[in-house]
Amino acid sequence: MSTTDPHPFLEILDIKKIDRDDELFSMNFEPDLGRLKTSVEEIGMVAPIWVRTKGRRFQIINGFRRFDVACLLGETHLQTLIWGEENLDDRSAFEMGLHENALTRPLNIAEKALVLDKLLGPFSVPRDEVVEFISPSWVLSPTKAS
């Protein structure tokens, strides 16, 4: 595995190497895994989870629900799309995950609040940028607080 390559690569990882406790990029709030679990049981895991190297382990960027379903089903390995930590900063990783989630499912109100909290908090995105970034992806009318 070469994490100096700026492009992500596919690899099957031992699930134990993935740090599920690191939820920096998670935007799930009490996810219902039932439909996803049924789908994975019927046709398998269609898309890899996205991870980033972080020391000797891997940090989930996108695919927390898929990871959880894999664990429920007793999987020991997962197909992953891997970025090197030095090639993908926190904010870019979060924005990529947000776009991917917006394409595959609607976020509930609690998840939208979690996303806003993370953008304004750990990722230090200025309020004006948050309004411009979020509005198109959530089909909201941009309004700025005075």
At residue 69 the predicted structure's pLDDT band, cuts being 50, 70 and 90, is very high
Range of the domain at 13: 9-138
Question: pLDDT of 92-131, one tens digit each?
Answer: 999 888 888 877 778 888 888 898 899 999 988 898 888 8
User: Rounded to an integer, what distance in angstroms lies between the CA atom of residue 3 and that of residue 18?
Assistant: 16
Question: pLDDT of 11-49, one tens digit each?
Answer: 999 999 999 999 999 988 888 889 889 999 999 999 999
pTM, 2 dp: 0.82
With respect to residue 60, please indicate whether it lies within any of the assigned structural domains: yes
CB 91 within 8 A of CB 21: no
What number is the average pLDDT over the span 59-70?
95
With respect to residue 94, please indicate whether it lies within any of the assigned structural domains: yes
User: Rounded to an integer, what distance in angstroms lies between the CA atom of residue 57 and that of residue 40?
Assistant: 25
CB 70 within 8 A of CB 40: yes
With respect to residue 74, please indicate whether it lies within any of the assigned structural domains: yes
With respect to residue 2, please indicate whether it lies within any of the assigned structural domains: no
| Per-residue pLDDT, 24 | 94
Does residue 80 carry a pLDDT above 80? yes
CATH code (residue 110): 3.90.1530.10
The Cα-based distances of 14 to 46, 83, 87, 107 in angstroms read 18, 16, 22, 29
User: Rounded to an integer, what distance in angstroms lies between the CA atom of residue 10 and that of residue 128?
Assistant: 36
Q: Which residues pair with 59 in a beta bridge?
A: 19, 52
